[in-house]
């Protein structure tokens, strides 16, 4: 009887030891996981702050290309927001065009001025050396866009899609000019989301854009949008998602509206001044064209783009005439 009791006590002790051991392991596992989570959030927050400084500095340095080393991380770009892990940063002032996801140790930032015809804002383009940009087309316009892309980017140009060669790329962005959008089979084995395409119908002034994702070995049309002037077209090349592209353009149109209000008031004030002096310069400060731009900048749409394109050309001529006759410039 005592023997059985001793065996039972030994078994109970072992069970107790195992239970306590399991609780201790669970306790320390929770602590480790919690500390890991805190460390990841802290790291993401630090990288995000550094990224904010990088983008803010690049945005004001128009016409410049920067190659910046960063800790390897995945950056997600959304409408007016970028995110690293669980931490995100809102931006409303900057017009940023970037892929949906960037996982890299180097960032390429590039800034161009967007004018209609006066300077509206700087467009900031963000990408990485791991993304390959393929231009498909044999027109002068296609070659101009290819030459416009920074040399720091990985870029190629082909006359047609059948000539495209696979270079074992991480991500591919194929841009078609006046051709049927068709991705060659060499990219069929690439993971979902790593191959996207853009079809451009238009010229350097304005045109139509069709966004595509490459899914199940074929192109899936994600929607149609529009551009006005080359910097906006380049924005569509770097922003591989139609939602983020249109978000940036809508924000840019808001800036256009605000700045046009300033020039509209200046034009009317100068016209009133010249009329009070019976000066012929008053005829070069008519506000009809700038008023059209002001009205059309209320929304990003094809009719408004057409209206702004025409009015900005006329306003440029009007400004040149004012300069020719030594009158105050409109902008």
Q: Does residue 180 sit in the same domain as residue 205? A: yes
Start-to-end C-alpha separation, the chain: 106
259 assigned to some structural domain: yes
Q: What is the mean pLDDT of residues 304-326?
A: 97
Q: What is the mean pLDDT of residues 256-276?
A: 97
91 assigned to some structural domain: no
Residue 120, pLDDT above cutoff 60 = yes
For all residues of the chain together, what is the average pLDDT? 87
Q: Does residue 223 sit in the same domain as residue 285? A: no
46 assigned to some structural domain: no
Closest by CA to 242, choosing from 221, 214, 265, 218, is 221
| pLDDT for residue 24 | 64
| pLDDT for residue 39 | 39
| pLDDT for residue 13 | 59
Q: Which of 218, 240, 262 is the C-terminal boundary of a domain?
A: 240
Q: What is the mean pLDDT of residues 89-111?
A: 90
Closest by CA to 198, choosing from 169, 229, 168, 177, is 177
Residue 19, pLDDT above cutoff 80 = no
How far apart (Å, rounded) are the C-alpha atoms in residues 326 and 324? 6
The string of DSSP letters for 228-251 reads: ESHHHHHHHHH--SHHHHHHHHHH
Higher per-residue pLDDT: 91 or 141: 141
Q: Does residue 304 sit in the same domain as residue 232? A: no
Higher per-residue pLDDT: 25 or 185: 185
Closest by CA to 85, choosing from 124, 125, 57, 46, is 46
Contacts of 35 (CB under 8 A, 6+ apart): none
Q: Does residue 218 sit in the same domain as residue 306? A: no
Q: How confident is the model at residue 182 (pLDDT cuts 50, 70, 90)?
A: confident
| pLDDT for residue 32 | 43
Q: Which of 178, 213, 240 is the C-terminal boundary of a domain?
A: 240
Domain hosting residue 167, numbered range: 130-240
Structurally, how many domains does the chain consist of? 2
Residue 176, pLDDT above cutoff 70 = yes
To which H or E segment does residue 330 belong?
A: none
Q: Does residue 235 sit in the same domain as residue 257? A: no
- Encode pLDDT of 123-139 as tens digits: 999 999 999 999 999 99
Q: Does residue 229 sit in the same domain as residue 265? A: no
- 70-84, 123-137, 215-229, 276-290: least confidently modelled range: 70-84
| pLDDT for residue 131 | 96
Higher per-residue pLDDT: 86 or 95: 95
289 assigned to some structural domain: yes
What is this structure's pTM? 0.84
Q: Does residue 225 sit in the same domain as residue 269? A: no
Share of the chain above pLDDT 70, in %: 85
Q: How confident is the model at residue 204 (pLDDT cuts 50, 70, 90)?
A: very high
34 assigned to some structural domain: no
| pLDDT for residue 23 | 62
| pLDDT for residue 2 | 52
Q: Which of 206, 240, 274 is the C-terminal boundary of a domain?
A: 240
Q: Does residue 264 sit in the same domain as residue 236? A: no
Give the dihedral of Cα atoms 148, 151, 155, 156; nearest 10 deg: 80
Residue 38, pLDDT above cutoff 60 = no
Q: Does residue 269 sit in the same domain as residue 310? A: yes
| pLDDT for residue 210 | 97
Residue 35, pLDDT above cutoff 70 = no
* Helix axis angle, 230-238 to 140-148, nearest 10°: 70
Q: What is the mean pLDDT of residues 90-100?
A: 87
- Encode pLDDT of 1-17 as tens digits: 555 555 455 555 556 55
198 assigned to some structural domain: yes
Q: How confident is the model at residue 41 (pLDDT cuts 50, 70, 90)?
A: very low
Q: Does residue 224 sit in the same domain as residue 154? A: yes
107 assigned to some structural domain: no
95 assigned to some structural domain: no
Q: Does residue 195 sit in the same domain as residue 236? A: yes
Q: Does residue 263 sit in the same domain as residue 225? A: no
Residue 305, pLDDT above cutoff 90 = yes
Closest by CA to 241, choosing from 82, 55, 66, 57, is 82
Rg value, the chain, Cα: 28
Q: Residue 168 to residues 36, 103, 317: CA-CA distances in angstroms?
A: 34, 16, 49
């Amino acid at each position: 009887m005592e023997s059985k009791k001793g065996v039972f006590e030994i078994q109970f002790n072992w069970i107790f030891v195992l239970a306590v051991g399991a609780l201790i392991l669970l306790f320390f596992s929770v602590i480790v996981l919690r500390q890991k989570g805190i460390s990841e959030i802290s790291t993401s927050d630090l990288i995000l702050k550094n990224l904010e400084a990088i983008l803010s500095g690049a945005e004001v340095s128009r016409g410049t290309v920067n190659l910046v080393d960063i800790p390897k991380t995945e950056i997600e770009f959304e409408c007016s927001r970028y995110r690293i892990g669980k931490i995100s940063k809102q931006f409303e002032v900057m017009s940023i065009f970037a892929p949906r996801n960037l996982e890299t140790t180097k960032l390429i930032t590039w800034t161009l001025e967007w004018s209609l015809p006066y300077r509206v804002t700087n467009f900031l383009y963000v990408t990485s050396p791991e993304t390959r940009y393929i231009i498909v087309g044999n027109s002068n316009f296609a070659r101009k866009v290819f030459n416009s892309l920074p040399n720091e980017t990985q870029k190629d140009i082909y006359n047609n899609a059948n000539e495209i060669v696979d270079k074992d790329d991480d991500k591919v962005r194929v841009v078609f000019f006046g051709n049927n959008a068709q991705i060659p089979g060499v990219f069929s084995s690439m993971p979902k989301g790593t191959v996207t395409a853009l079809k451009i119908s238009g010229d350097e002034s304005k045109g139509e854009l069709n966004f595509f994702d490459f899914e199940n070995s074929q192109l899936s049309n994600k929607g149609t949008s529009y551009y006005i002037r080359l910097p906006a077209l380049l924005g569509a090349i770097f922003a591989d998602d139609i939602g983020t592209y249109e978000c940036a353009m809508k924000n840019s149109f808001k800036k256009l509206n605000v700045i046009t209000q300033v020039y509209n008031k200046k034009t009317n004030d100068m016209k009133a001044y010249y009329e009070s002096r019976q000066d012929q310069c008053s005829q070069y400060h008519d506000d009809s064209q700038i008023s059209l731009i002001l009205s059309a900048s209320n929304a990003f749409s094809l009719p408004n783009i057409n209206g702004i394109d025409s009015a900005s050309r006329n306003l440029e001529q009007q400004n040149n005439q004012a300069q020719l006759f030594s009158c105050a410039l409109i902008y």
